[in-house]
Structure 1
């Protein structure tokens, strides 16, 4: 399904013309969080190590609370959870610059970082949950698979874009104005756009009166091996994001041009977004499992090339090829998650993947920073290859080919 047709479909008519722009902007604070915390702490406290610990702490908070928030959404609905959580997160982000710049001990800053991560609204996964529910209600059964594929492709491309634009925006605001502005901006975006997303009419999908309500599957269904391999693969994608940006920044900082990292990082986003959108046009016989292995292998090969690069030109070429692998891989992972999601657990499943991305990014940002400081920027260029290897390994371990996945009807969660 082409994306022109996606936006002319009953999906768009049901969601409304403002839904997709709103959901896109509402994603930005989540993508800005890890890098924003790192940048502000380093600038105000003068410690790269402490900055890395805080970014990891934010990721830890997301890891602990993300799936719980997803479970709460599955039980109480998106509006009842997103509105209070978004307001809490906006308040914590607004307070963070004052705490970091003040006399509070480092442990208090770390605790606040954990709370920021724990309360971070995961708009991307929840948007997918809404759209899957709408597809189940409005699209004829014979067309659902095609529409779902196109929708997952768009959603993954949107995530890809914000996870590149977010760090770039943090760097731009920090260098042009001040580091605290990026966190303050994330606070404002959360307050305005996340709240608007929560209150959008799609936040409440009315149940089908002719359909028997779906009984949620037991929580143990969330830890079945096929779904766990998808989560691990998504964790590898998050590690890849964090390792790539941090290693690129370290390499460029050797000649004083570290502020260019965001611009060069954007090169990867171009091919990534294009290929992610194009994934919807791939033939059905090219199964999801085959796509995971194929594009994951392309990602690994390009990451090895990135590790071997010794010039800015070589890095740019490698980044362009990396984008061709990472975009379709992420689309595939989310499509598999939609198929493997236990009944009534779609929000929990999607937030598990969203948490995996941000946790991987946070841990890789901190870990790769340590490698840059201790072993040098050149050694750190190998970190994305390790992340890509994890993505490929998870794909090989995945034991449920797309043709044998137990498919169920796509119904509102």
Structure 2
């Protein structure tokens, strides 16, 4: 998983051998949320537009509350934030299928979707923050950069796998049993595994809380252009996820098989997870900025092929190639964010990126749903290419914002 075995062992030993599978499973509800909401509403209410709007509403809730939850975790510690938030989210998810199946007005349904998004426990950024804290405490200074890059590679691969497995599970459960079961399953996973993750011993490691009393950087440091471009890049990834899944759903729904979208969507996960993990072995001279631009461009090229596809086989091939671009792109973005994170703002920074992915996915789902209903699925297939172009544009903006460096000082990772 990491370049240096002894340093890797130190990280795993301090985190605990149960930590990584626990953190992986605890992410699943977050990845199932927007897709599950979309699938359930489309199945029960018969409208791709309404389903997309509810998915977007969940994203808006995440956008409003996600960074605030990250800031609260920086100051109060993750346990005090994750336990109550997880219990609230599990309750809302459990109630959502009953609300959708009732005669509840669409506006009330949207309001509940906002609350579901606002209370979504963001395990991925919290996990990254914990692991960065362990690296700071247990890994020798001369090994930290390599271990950081390997850790971000693993975390991004886990995210990629979860964001593919989540929709895959939703599609599988919707096809084999019923659409409501995916949301019910997300509720159960949140109740059990998010609570377990919150109470895990690593939950005591929250560098923001320690730094806040001494030398936490001001919030305006988060608005520096290099970091803003990274957030914009992850937002583009979110746009891509939402546009791809919803356009794929619309394309398959034309033949009455829209509930299979999650299964086909899972094809992206193969190359994505493999390349994300493999990116830890890239040579250091292949800088993070260059990786972002190269693999983002691969995404764009494959997305153009996806836009012209009119058969299921062609779509599958395009999705497989797209996966090879997404994984390394996300690894590069999260590694850059870890390096650019202001002192004492690690959880906030990682939550900003996680929120950007979910918000982008939700908003893009809504827009793509409208395009499917009004202009047809064939037109909607072009939207992932637009999202991939945003990812490439953000990479170019980041390179322009950091013209003289390939790597920024590790403010959060390596304290003075």
Please give the residue correspondences for 1:210-359 in structure 2 after superposition, counting only pairs within 5 Å: 214-359=214-359
Please give the residue correspondences for 1:150-189 in structure 2 after superposition, counting only pairs within 5 Å: 150-189=150-189
How far residue 246 of structure 1 moved from its aligned partner, in angstroms, is 1.4
Number of aligned residues:
411
How far residue 3 of structure 1 moved from its aligned partner, in angstroms, is 7.2
How far residue 247 of structure 1 moved from its aligned partner, in angstroms, is 1.4
How far residue 299 of structure 1 moved from its aligned partner, in angstroms, is 0.9
Task: Confirm or deny: 8 A CA contact 1:79 1:203 kept in the other structure.
Answer: yes
Partner of 2:118: 118
Partner of 1:137: 137
Task: Confirm or deny: 8 A CA contact 2:338 2:410 kept in the other structure.
Answer: no
Give the aligned CA root-mean-square deviation in angstroms. 2.1
TM-score relative to the length of structure 1: 0.95
Task: Confirm or deny: 8 A CA contact 1:214 1:344 kept in the other structure.
Answer: no
Cα deviation per residue 1:180-222 (whole Å; 9 max; x = unaligned)?
A: 2111111110000000000000000287xx9997511111111
Partner of 1:387: 387
1:403 aligns with 2:406: yes
TM-score relative to the length of structure 2: 0.94
Cα deviation per residue 1:269-322 (whole Å; 9 max; x = unaligned)?
A: 100101000111111111111111111111111111111222222222211111
Task: Confirm or deny: 8 A CA contact 1:252 1:260 kept in the other structure.
Answer: yes
Runs of 4+ off more than 6 Å: 210-213
Task: Confirm or deny: 8 A CA contact 2:344 2:412 kept in the other structure.
Answer: no
Question: Which range is displaced more, 402-411 or 89-98?
Answer: 402-411
Please give the residue correspondences for 1:73-152 in structure 2 after superposition, counting only pairs within 5 Å: 73-152=73-152
Question: Which range is displaced more, 7-16 or 79-88?
Answer: 7-16
1:61 aligns with 2:25: no
Cα deviation per residue 1:74-122 (whole Å; 9 max; x = unaligned)?
A: 0000001000110111111111122222233222211111111000000
Q: Aligned with 2:296: secondary structure?
A: helix
Task: Confirm or deny: 8 A CA contact 1:160 1:272 kept in the other structure.
Answer: yes
Are residues 318 and 57 of structure 1, via their aligned partners in 2, closer, same or farther at CA, if it must alter by over 3 Å? same
Q: Aligned with 2:143: secondary structure?
A: helix
Distance (Å, rounded) in 1 between the aligned partners of 2:310 and 2:281: 36
Task: Confirm or deny: 8 A CA contact 1:125 1:351 kept in the other structure.
Answer: yes
Task: Confirm or deny: 8 A CA contact 1:214 1:343 kept in the other structure.
Answer: no
Distance (Å, rounded) in 2 between the aligned partners of 1:22 and 1:313: 35
Cα deviation per residue 1:223-244 (whole Å; 9 max; x = unaligned)?
A: 1111111011000001111111
Q: Aligned with 1:403: secondary structure?
A: coil
**Runs of 5+ unmatched residues, structure 1:** none
Distance (Å, rounded) in 2 between the aligned partners of 1:108 and 1:149: 44
How far residue 406 of structure 1 moved from its aligned partner, in angstroms, is 2.8
Distance (Å, rounded) in 2 between the aligned partners of 1:6 and 1:369: 49
Are residues 404 and 175 of structure 1, via their aligned partners in 2, closer, same or farther at CA, if it must alter by over 3 Å? closer
Are residues 143 and 308 of structure 1, via their aligned partners in 2, closer, same or farther at CA, if it must alter by over 3 Å? same
Distance (Å, rounded) in 2 between the aligned partners of 1:97 and 1:258: 19
Cα deviation per residue 1:304-358 (whole Å; 9 max; x = unaligned)?
A: 1111222222222211111111100000000010011110000000000000001
How far residue 360 of structure 1 moved from its aligned partner, in angstroms, is 0.8
Task: Confirm or deny: 8 A CA contact 2:167 2:263 kept in the other structure.
Answer: no
Partner of 1:70: 70
Are residues 39 and 257 of structure 1, via their aligned partners in 2, closer, same or farther at CA, if it must alter by over 3 Å? closer
Distance (Å, rounded) in 1 between the aligned partners of 2:254 and 2:97: 28
